[in-house]
Amino acid sequence: MMGEISRLFDLLELYRGPYASKEVVFATKNKGRWESISAGDYCEAVDRVSTALLALGVGKGVKVASVLKNCPEWNFLDMGLMQIGAVQVPIYPTICNEHFSYIFEHADVEYIFIYDNTISDCIAKILPEIEGIKEVFSIKKIEGFKHWDEFLAMGNAHPDKDKIRAISRQIQPQDLATIIYTSGTTGTGKGVMLSHRNFVSNFMAAQPILAPKGVKTALSFLPLCHVYERMLNYVYQYLGISIYYAESMENLAETMREVKPEMLCAVPRMLEKIYDRIVVRGRKLPQPNRAVFFWALRLAFRFQLYGAKGKSYELRRKIADLLVYRKWRKVLGGRLRYIVSGGASLRPRLARVFWAAGIQVVEGYGLTETSPVIAVGTYEPGGMKFGTVGPPLEGVEVKIGEDGEILCRGPNVMLGYYKNQELTREAIDQDGWFHTGDIGTLDEGKYVKITDRKKEIFKTSGGKYIAPQVIENRFKESEFIEHMIVVGENRHFPAALIVPAFEHLKSWCAVKSLPYTNQEEVVKLPQVVERIANEVEKHNYFLGRTEQIKKFRLVGNEWTIESGELSPTLKLRRKFIQQKYGRLIQEIYSQQ
């Protein structure tokens, strides 16, 4: 396609060359209308950003923080920094003031870019306490902050492209490109240093998975500040896929109908919500449509890859597609065919449903420290297996340690943790193996299977080891359970806090003629407690005696990023949950 890509900004050569005529590189919605950025716009904007940064005195190694939503400007800033050797420090907009202060100070940030007034008050409060911050710029106009246009005006009206290219030629693949702070489920997180080589090796190894599919349009809604969406963002650019940035998660269904994407990247919780809404719609159908809907759903639960169920099953699936599945796809825009799921474990039953409906979901696995992909399913025959995260990515070595920990080695492994050599030595051994902290196996000697986090496994007072994720994933197969945390360290038995799937529960209550006033009241209804107890009993059957949930309590509020129970990547923040609901947990064990 072009000369060797060894640094992130080498992607721009595609938009100066083979993709120069491309009309939609990025698109975003503004005041109800979609606005697109062409290849020419992209390259020109990046050079203007670099020129403005140079005028500010930003050069190689200078740290610049971005607290932005997904938007074209994210890419302008990213590439504008990269091609002059500066370092981007992307930050989640949803973290607390304390974490903002920590990152700005720890990363030696000199300039900050924010999106709009949703974060400006927070930034304004903490700026006086932080030394070294020279200026804050905002994409949208906010009183008291310099606007994006003012920033661009600090450079020349016409970028000195020769100067920029001369600087960029000095940048090496092993140079630091970004510092990404881990989401920190228990603290402030660690600054992961990733080089150009780390990222490039990863997206170049991942892109052949999508390349043969001829995808033209992708929808992006997971935050670009997270390594997972960011890496895929580079894959999309390499393949010339038009990227549409969703305005908000709340309007995602409407956005999908407008954009009609062929692929997207998601976390399991998003797929669960899509599935739940489809089922709720199915329950509202009149007979005999409802019966046909659930026949098709039961058929989907039995789906096997590569036609393994035989011709009779595939014939019935085609009938189900005509009657039911195509309507599901229509709700999702009508053209969605490929989804990459990561960030947490995807329930195999859920994956089967999407595949049966003609939407091929593959799972990927990795960490910020590995840029991020270690293993991922592919669309080739034998390229995936339900219940696993696929084979190791090309060029990435994987082995299982003596204690069951997944170890990884390859060009994707980070440079280290910023300002923390001790932690770096703990994470990467003398032979270059990165210790992931995840427990797993190699299924059939090929497919990576994650079973739990090493640090999350605990012992009961009887000395029995409990792997909470294994149990939680089993119980989340239930349509009645949205979230669940298993507790019981140094206790006589494991117990659980359960957040019901309230949308499904509301539908169930209507069928049973039970009152549904609010979430806090409905979880107190004896019939609801009994129904969840039946689910607990059903799933306990598949667990060993010492693993079974002996007691549980229902929680009457949803767990979200904003309320603190979930990390920005929608993982359980276990210590926070156990502290917040300490009294409820104590109640479980005080009534033995």
DSSP label at residue 190: -
Q: Which domains are delineated in the chain? A: 8-171 (3.40.50.12780), 262-454 (3.40.50.12780), 457-590 (3.30.300.30)
pLDDT of residue 572: 86
Token output for 589: 């064990």
Q: How large is the average pLDDT for residues 287-309?
A: 96
The encoded tokens of residue 499 equal 């957040």
pLDDT, residue 268, reads 85
- Lowest-confidence pick of 33-37, 57-61, 341-345: 341-345
**Residue 570 scores a pLDDT above 80:** no
Amino acid at 171: I
Residue of 328, 324, 323 whose CA lies nearest to 274: 328
Query: To the nearest whole number, what is the mean pLDDT of the chain?
Result: 92
Over residues 217-241, mean pLDDT: 96
Query: In terms of pLDDT, which residue wins out, 334 or 477?
Result: 334
Average pLDDT over residues 24-39: 95
Q: Please give the DSSP secondary-structure letter assigned to residue 324.
A: I
| Helix/strand/coil (H/E/C) assignment for every residue in 250-310 | CCHHHHHHHHCCCEEEECHHHHHHHHHHHHHHHHCCCCCHHHHHHHHHHHHHCCCHHHCCC
Structure tokens at 140: 């949208």
Which of 524 and 188 is assigned the larger pLDDT? Answer: 524
Q: Hey, what are 136's tokens?
A: 């804050």
DSSP β-bridge partners for residue 486: 496
Least confident of 174-178, 277-281, 411-415, 418-422: 277-281
Using an 8 Å Cβ cutoff, are 483 and 273 in contact? no
Facing residues of 448 across strands?
Answer: 442
pLDDT in tens, 78-90: 999 999 999 999 9
pLDDT at 157: 67
Task: Kindly tell me if the per-residue pLDDT of 468 is higher than 50.
Answer: yes
199 Cβ partners below 8 Å, 6+ apart?
8, 177, 178, 231, 234, 371
92 in Cβ contact with 115 (< 8 Å):
no
Using an 8 Å Cβ cutoff, are 456 and 469 in contact?
yes
3-state helix/strand/coil string of 65-113: EEECCCCHHHHHHHHHHHCCCCEEEECCCCCCHHHHHHHHHHCCEEEEE
Cβ neighbours, 10 Å, residue 460: 17
d(CA 6, CA 358): 36
The CA-based dihedral angle spanning residues 283, 289, 295, 298, taken in that order and rounded to the nearest 10 degrees: -30
Question: Is-contact 494 487, C-beta < 8 A?
Answer: yes
Instruction: Write out the two tokens for 428.
Output: 């990467």
Helix axes 289-301, 348-356, angle to 10 degrees: 120
**How far from 304 is each of 257, 308, 360, CA to CA, in Å?**
29, 6, 12
Which one is predicted more confidently, 144 or 205? 205
Under the banding of pLDDT at 50, 70 and 90, the label for residue 183 is low
Q: Is the pLDDT of residue 267 over 90?
A: no
Q: Give the pLDDT score at 1.
A: 46
Residue 429, CB-side half-sphere exposure with 13 Å CA sphere: 9
| Per-residue pLDDT, 490 | 82
**Burial class of residue 274 (count of CB atoms within 10 Å of its CB; 0-12, 13-18, 19+):** buried
Q: What is the mean pLDDT of residues 584-588?
A: 89
Cα–Cα distance measured from residue 399 to residue 445, given in angstroms and rounded to the nearest whole number: 10
Place of tokens 């792997």: 467
Q: pLDDT category, 384, cuts 50, 70, 90?
A: very high
Q: How many angstroms separate the CA atoms of 529 and 523, rounded?
A: 7
Question: Residue 156, exposed/middle/buried by CB under 10 A (0-12, 13-18, 19+)?
Answer: middle
State yes or no: pLDDT of 591 exceeds 80: no
Look at strands 191-195 and 87-90 and give their pairing: unpaired
- Backbone torsions φ then ψ of 64, nearest 5 degrees: -125, 125
Any idea which of 2-16, 54-68, 150-164 has the lowest mean pLDDT? 150-164
Check whether 185 has a pLDDT greater than 50: no
Question: Is 90 exceeded by the pLDDT of residue 408?
Answer: yes
| Proportion of the chain above pLDDT 90, given as a percent | 71
CA 225 from chain center: how many Å? 10
| Chain mean position to CA 167 | 34
Q: Taking CA 262 as the corner, what is the angle to CA 296 and CA 483, rounded to the nearest 5 degrees?
A: 60
Q: What is the pLDDT of residue 592?
A: 53
Task: Give pTM, 2 decimals.
Answer: 0.85
pLDDT on residue 575: 86
What whole-number distance in Å separates Cα of residue 308 and Cα of residue 302? 11
Helix (H) or strand (E) segment spanning residue 582? helix 582-590
Out of 331-335, 387-391, 458-462, 499-503, least confident range? 458-462
64-95 per-residue burial string, b: 16 or more CB within 10 A, e: under 16: bbbbbbbbbbbbbbbbbbbbbbbbbbbbbbbb
pLDDT digits (tens, 9 = 90+) for 273-286: 899 889 888 988 99
Q: pLDDT tier at 243 (50, 70, 90 boundaries)?
A: very high
How far apart CA 24 and CA 419 sit, in angstroms, is: 40
Q: Name which residue leads in pLDDT, 269 or 500.
A: 500
**pLDDT (tens digit per residue) in 522-565:** 999 999 999 999 999 999 988 878 889 999 999 999 998 888 89
Give the integer Cα–Cα distance in Å for 498 and 483.
6
Burial class (CB within 10 angstroms; exposed 0-12, middle 13-18, buried 19+) of 13 = middle
The confidence band for 34, taking pLDDT boundaries of 50, 70 and 90, is very high
